[in-house]
Structure 1
């Protein structure tokens, strides 16, 4: 038995998230079906990040076990021939039999995109949240500075979460605008709570429109109360960019 790791990119528009659901089409379900047909054995992938309905990804990670002897690095090419055009496996490779994508130390990067102009642009409608209010970029950056570091992010976590430990570390949080009026919120951290990035985006939108002072973000964190933070921004603006496993890089560096 071999364990294969995949790096998966997808447009989440037409899917009800990553995780299998009995009455809805999900990324996990489509991958399982394509891999099962390709390898001619039942395949069940384990995903690192169970993204919500409508959320996109460029670098989600998944593993599965197989008896098939197909070259690991060729599986991505072969399975892509069986996948719809809005899902593509970017790479595939063999890992240790006990390697689990949710049990490794991981650094995740997400981007949330906001189209900030008076009139929406049709070709950006699926991948950005349209905000027609003028957003003050400097206020958003100032608000973002209070997020960076290790904090209890209970205020930025959906009430639906079942985790008891809500302390997380945000390594960086940048806010930039391009020439097409798209504001990108790029956040990198040790892990994220349910809806945490989208709630942070909603709170930064509050700061950008002047509904709160940037300094109030510190008060929101201290309150540990979801009702104090901004709204959960729509899913379509969110993309999982990358999942990085630093322990693997250290192990490779230590090899003679």
Structure 2
């Protein structure tokens, strides 16, 4: 009987054109599936918890696939890493129930967005942060975070993309802090996110910080559902998928209780 294997995956988004398979571009999904064929000769269909865009990174994306290959579960991630390209690494593997689906069973996700605040653009961190300049009031950005927390219609924070049944989502935690010198980190945990929602939220908070948007207008802007009133869509390279949460703990501190206390 085939085993259902869950993987915890880390990758450098600058090496790929997103997660999902594309006919004319190299993606993380293709890299993993091709590597398994090279390793075992078996074709698989791997299901990812998130379909990250080109340039977006991950340190904790979860995926699953079914296999008849007899490699011990605790060796699968090590075997994968002998054949995967350098920009992606499998951090852990775990056998899960036959009906587990990394995408549809996810309760929510934790993302981080990194701004590089400096007059001079970054060189070493250019693929992992978004460069911002000028005066920024971090306290104003921090105070504005509360305006986005809760279950709301976030249509004003979505670019046009894949149609969705509803634009209502729930943000459980949103905070922004000085990560290191020159780097500001935005952390967000929610049940799900609309197309470019986090990158637009990052742009909106940036505009609040530099005075282009007044935080007192945010409730009205959200109610309007008007995308043009919010901040710009920030670049993809500042965004990281950190963790995916499930009903039961999968890879550590990612279960139901962790999700609601995070």
Tell me the residue number matched to 2:9: 8
TM-score by length of 1: 0.94
Q: Which residue does the alignment assign to 2:243?
A: 242
Structure 2 CA distance for aligned equivalents of residues 89 and 21 of structure 1: 21
SS of equivalent residue, structure 2 residue 186: strand
Q: Which runs of 4+ in 1 moved over 3 A?
A: 246-251
RMSD between aligned residues: 1.4
Name the residue aligned to 1:225. Answer: 226
CA-to-aligned-CA distance 1:111-170 (integer Å, 9 cap, x gap):
000011111231111101111112110111122110111101111111123002111110
Question: Contact conserved, 1:39 with 1:68, CA < 8 A, in 2?
Answer: yes
Moved more, 242-251 or 119-128: 242-251
Unaligned runs of 5+ in 2: 250-254, 258-262
- Alignment match, 1:129: 130
Aligned to 1:28: 29
Aligned to 1:154: 155
Partners of 2:115 and 2:131 within 8 A in 1: yes
Correspondence for 2:64: 63
Unaligned runs of 5+ in 1: 252-256
Which moves more between the two structures, 9-18 or 120-129?
120-129
Residue 163 of structure 1: aligned partner: 164
Q: Are residues 153 and 50 of structure 1, via their aligned partners in 2, closer, same or farther at CA, if it must alter by over 3 Å?
A: same
Asked whether the 8 Å contact 2:49–2:106 carries over to 1, the reply is: no
Shift in Å at residue 105 of structure 1?
A: 4.1
Deviation at 1:250, TM superposition (A): 6.1
Cα offset for 1:25?
Answer: 0.6
Give the superposition deviation at 1:241. Answer: 0.6
